[in-house]
A and B are shown apart, each in its own frame.
Chain A
Amino acid sequence: KMAGDSRFPDVDTDGSEKSEEMEIVVNVGGVRQVFYGDYLNQYPETRLAELVNCLSGGYDSIFSLCDDYDPGKREFYFDRDPDAFKCIIDVYYFGEIHMKKGICPICFKNEMEFWKVDLKFLDDCCKAHLSEKKEELEEIARRVQLILDDLGVDASESRWKRCQKCIWKFLEKPESSYPARVIAVLSFLFILISSVVMCVGTIPDLQVVDAEGNRMEHPTLDSIETACIGWFTMEYVLRLISSPNKLHFALSFMNIVDVLAILPFYVSLTLTHLGAKLMELSNVQQAVQALRIMRIARIFKLARHSSGLQTLTYALKRSFKELGLLLMYLAVGIFVFSALGYTMEQSHPETLFKSIPQSFWWAIITMTTVGYGDIYPKTTLGKLNAAISFLCGVIAIALPIHPIINNFVRYYNKQRVLETAAKHELELMELNSAEGKAAGSRSELEDLSREGKDDPFYSSRIKVSHSDTFIHLLSEEKNYRTRLQSCK
């Protein structure tokens, strides 16, 4: 029978009993365990060991470590998860901890932190699991951070800063507002138009011949092109101005693409106007022609507007190794089969395989199963070789492509999951912040009603109970709450 929490035994008796062989009874969430002091003292920094060591320290110290103490049974009560506890006490017996299957690793990590058992005691097999989850959470936290950054404007900032942020949101976050979406669509249309113009401009029927007999682009197409470039330039400049971190902005992949898309136009413009003074006219024209190829870069600008393309680039980036493997397989195949094809076709008088480098082309086209038919084997042996090279090509391409596809699919699916997870996280934070306030006021009320019987743990713990996700990345908690509220 519990005697109640108002009566405590004498501190002295506690102290006198303290010895190395002393045993303590720990009750964790209803599960009772008996420990020997010397076992616990193996790891003096843990909570249980601290408990043993501070038994003589009086009730204040005991209650700072555990939630309840029953002097009759000499039983310490902890209001924690008993399942995780059962796993964690393994550290005293075996020196390592294995996570119980089924427990969420993050949850388990928190339990370990409560018992002040270092994470290093977690065995490697379980650590992998934990780190995987952690990575995912970090990813989510990053997204949350992004969303939070977009939300709300701090009133404290200067007017210029606020304006900057406004423009930034306008141009970079199409989902933030209706006009921003319109801008995104416009920008997308401009990219399309300029790409089409670039293609159409090369059709001979639509070209005009200038005074010197050179083919020039049609003047209307030219003006459309200029308009598009004007739009791109304006967009880029505005982005650059409004970006919080100029260097970071300038070096990011998408923005390099942007620069490449607009630069050729200005370079060729300057060349045609000034270049004549510096070098010969034909050279200038050649340079201008070469710069035209650079216009292709604008097609990559589409990637900004398509998450699918971003996923593709991500997947390719992640599977660099596999891509290398693919190329290597192909290269080996090409070398082998072109050499074989060349030797076997030597016997034929009208052979199309004139040299090994020339038959490289044939090998590529065969191995990738394209088969133009401009070069083809004529001897029986050569045809046999072609058949084999075709089979090998299929295999060589199919094998390394699988991991690449895997990466792509995984990332593609993860993208969606993370999106919802981030949203959920935000909701959770909102909820917790609202509840934190409510709980705070409630605990105050209870303080009054219970005449201060409330313990210090209570209110503090409630307030700390924000999400497990890596909100410490979003350090200033206060800040985001106000932002959250301001944007509502």
Chain B
Amino acid sequence: MPLGMNKHGSRSTTSLPPDPTEIVRSKACSRRVKLNVGGLAHEVLWRTLDRLPRTRLGKLRDCNTHDSLMEICDDYNLEENEYFFDRHPGAFTSILNFYRTGKLHMMEEMCALSFSQELDYWGVDEIYLESCCQARYHQKKEQMNEELKREAETLREREGEEFDNTCCAEKRKKLWDLLEKPNSSVAAKILAIISIMFIVLSTIALSLNTLPELQGVDEFGQTTDNPQLAHVEAVCIAWFTMEYLLRFLSSPKKWKFFKGPLNAIDLLAILPYYVTIFLTESNKSVLQFQNVRRVVQIFRIMRILRILKLARHSTGLQSLGFTLRRSYNELGLLILFLAMGIMIFSSLVFFAEKDEDDTKFKSIPASFWWATITMTTVGYGDIYPKTLLGKIVGGLCCIAGVLVIALPIPIIVNNFSEFYKEQKRQEKAIKRREALERAKRNGSIVSMNMKDAFARSIELMDIVVEKNGESIAKKDKVQDNHLSPSKWKWTKRTLSETSSSKSFETKEQGSPEKARSSSSPQHLNVQQLEDMYNKMAKTQSQPNLNTKESSQAGKQKEELEMETLPGPMVPLLATRTDGIIDMRSMSSIDSFISCAAEFPDSGRFSHSPLTALPCKGGISLVQEQGRPEGSTARYVEMNPSSESGHRSAFFIESPKSSIKASNPLKLRSLKVNFMEEDTSTLVPASNVLRTYPDPLKSRGATAAATDTSLLSDRSLMSPETSIYTTASARTPPKSPESQAAIAFNFHDAGIHKYIDADTDDEGQLMYDSSPPGNVSPKYSVANSGYLKQKDHVYRTEKNHLEAAALPTSPKLIGQNCIFSMEGITGRTQGNQETVRLENHISPEVHVLPGSGGHANTHDQSI
């Protein structure tokens, strides 16, 4: 970035922003404008930008105030007539060319997904992409989408099991693991092997049964089963039945279990036996009748289906099944080709051979057999042509058969290998996750695969959306409805309403799981990533965390009570809340990209609010402890006095309220229309894990009881205070009342660290932009506001938070969402500032049910 811009940037925090007239003058004095995108300078005519007036760049010219300008660009310099955008420079070249030539092409080496992300940012619809580049773009995008979906699906199958809503969950879960996951333990593995052996045994018995030597003869002269083999059969069937019943009983979702293809096969393997018994017993007297016998025979044949049970134990067989399902088109083609070939060659050979004496080609249908056997190159030799003409036809038939069969098969093979590879990859991913778990236990850091994490996050969202009936689902859904792309189509109104109502439900539940789950945000120390990771994968892995935490809880609480006093002393300030999420991502993949793409931003704007916090040690403590305890009510009671309590509350609460506010803005249809979108675009804030100032540590030391993990927790939490839209980042100087905004992206922090641990300039910027005085008011604001408001306001928020905290956290990894606590405080206090800021947000912030209502209900429930 040029020096001048830095200067300007610093000026914006200390002095007043430039006057609109100044901006207008600067724009008027040149026909051209300099656009600096990610360090690459472009120069373009204003009138070129005017060609697409509804895009981000198109709107640049019409912005004559500082605020509106800052909404559109990340920085500007009037003297140089230069505007800075913190985006990928490579993609921008293509996009700027779109303005110049009216044709949108895409750089070939550019990843299609990241390009679509850029298009979203600049407000250009992907439909403008020229045909020459469009095919590549869409192919890639679809492929990626599909892959992620599939991955999420399988993971969901594996991990979307919840056992907590019914009796003896623990036992059932163990049983389920034992029966369904052969890799989970040695016992499970042994069980699987026994199961396989039973399958093989029963199949062998079935085959042996048909040997004439082993068959007996009953009183009607009909052959019957060998008694020994019948016993073997009965034992096998008993085993299968038991297995099936146990599985069914332990399955978390009965209907889904019943529908599963593998389970249907199981059922088909055991049912024939019982049906046969039933028929034989009930018709003992009429058994001699032919049709009853025939029915029985058919059911006996169905027993052979049990060989398919092996599919449960073999990935290869499952892949085969999947491939066949996926490539039924090509299979149809293959059959069509064969059918046509058979028709043609059989009629040809019929006409060639029919005059021969004692020919076997008596009619065309009769020669179908010959054609089939020849085309598939089996060649039994029971029928073969004898005339010269027939032999020529036969030769052609062979070659045509080879060709016709060979052609569609590569496509099927392709499908198969793709799926198989994917399957293998997933197995590896699961292994890696297990390794992560282990590493977590050891306390060492393991680098984690972003993409996996992201895929998991999507998957979780999906699960949640689907799991309507379940309590946990409800909890998750509070946010997930919004997060999952599929739901974005909802109208704004319904969105906000449903979400608020959902939050009530969850609030009132107050179940221990919730508390447990909400502990996740706190755990952002070294191990946190892994924890989160696990949580996404298995909610079950949490208990050990909780125990760890709860041991500390008591101690911390005491400390908290001592330290919370300073809170109220902070001068009262008008609270202004600003809730904006960066939901820039239209689809989940996009968000994944954005996650990576926007880290720089977040670093840039994050302030380190911790420095100014009135109560130091207590903060982290309260947060630490409030969650693990899980009893919402109690926690609430003590909150009012503790400022840190507020903080934690904010923390958690934020996701819900803010999501409600800004999600709808992201409706896909608005994509081109940046007018709305800009307001909601938010630069992720504060990933401070790495860059955290030393003061923190010292403070952490004061909080004697805290261990190192707590320390880092703090560091993670502190950024919460600073969340800024591009616009809001500038507002603090202008409006000293400050805003209480919270970042909800610990994950980002973690991932950020992981991804680009060496973005030094970000750190610098961060320091630059966080003047000491800036942050503290924020906190106090929130705090004082709350105090004024009486406890119930609080509680609502806190509850919101608690309900929301767990589910969001894992998801956020990909989403890069930042939640600021917006709606509730602002609304309840009816502050004017809030309203002003909320202009940026969306109208329906106002529409949302007032938090007063929330609060009341909540009080009652408590």
Contacts and interface: CB of A to CB of B under 8 A. Distances in A.
Contacts of A379: none
B214 interface: no
Interface string A304-315: 001011001001
Given A296-B344, A308-B336, A368-B402, A467 B131 contact: yes
Nearest to B333: A308
Contacts of A397: 399, 402
Most buried by A among B102, B340, B373, B410: B102
A330 B406 CA distance: 17
Contact of A469 (B93, B130, B364, B398): B130
B97 interface: yes
B135 A30 contact: no
Contacts of B130: 104, 106-107, 428, 467-469
Contacts of A133: 132
A370 B30 contact: no
A420 B48 contact: no
Given A27-B43, A30-B44, A431 B51 contact: no
Nearest to B414: A409
Nearest to B379: A370
B365 A428 contact: no
Interface stretch (A151-159, A197-205, A229-237): A197-205
Interface string A426-440: 011001100000010
A371 interface: yes
Chain A interface secondary structure, helix, strand, loop or mixed? helix
Interface string B289-326: 00000000000000000000000000000000000000
Nearest to A369: B377
A103 interface: yes
A203 B105 contact: no
Interface in A394-422: 397, 401, 404-405, 408-409, 412, 417-418, 420-421
Contact of A202 (B34, B97, B363): B363
> Which range contains the number of B residues in contact with the other chain?
35 or more
Interface in B360-397: 362-366, 368, 373-374, 377-381, 384, 391, 394-395
Given A199-B364, A370-B378, A365 B398 contact: yes
Contacts of B35: 30
Contacts of A442: 53
Contacts of A198: 347, 364
B438 to A, nearest CB: 43
Interface stretch (B107-115, B580-588, B597-605, B736-744): B107-115
A370 B405 CA distance: 14
B45 interface: yes
Given A29-B44, A104-B106, A104-B133, A199 B406 contact: no
Contacts of A296: 343-344, 347-348
Contacts of A373: 379-381
A30 B365 contact: no
Interface in B614-641: none
Interface string B399-413: 101111011101100
B107 A102 contact: yes
A322 B648 CA distance: 72
A325 to B, nearest CB: 12
A68 B347 contact: no
B605 to A, nearest CB: 27
Contact of A29 (B31, B96, B110): B96
A292 B32 CA distance: 79
B364 A420 contact: no
A451 interface: no
Contacts of A408: 407-408, 410
Nearest to B401: A368
Contacts of B30: 2, 4
Contact of B384 (A101, A326, A372): A372
Nearest to B97: A81
A350 interface: no
A420 B138 contact: yes
Given A202-B350, A293-B347, A107 B97 contact: yes
B134 A421 contact: yes
A106 B132 contact: yes
A412 B411 contact: yes
B476 to A, nearest CB: 35
Contact of A293 (B351, B363, B407): B351
Contacts of A293: 347-348, 351
Interface in A302-334: 302, 306, 308-309, 312, 315, 326-327, 330
B47 interface: yes
Contacts of B379: 365, 369-373
Given A30-B43, A79-B45, A102-B108, A199 B365 contact: yes
5 contacts: A104-B108, A104-B132, A420-B135, A446-B50, A469-B130
The 5 closest A-B pairs by CB, nearest first: A465-B102, A30-B43, A373-B381, A370-B379, A372-B381
Interface of B: 29-32, 34-35, 41-45, 47-48, 50-51, 53, 93, 96-97, 100-103, 105-110, 127-135, 138-139, 332-333, 336-337, 340, 343-344, 346-348, 350-351, 354, 362-366, 368, 373-374, 377-381, 384, 391, 394-395, 398-399, 401-404, 406-408, 410-411, 414
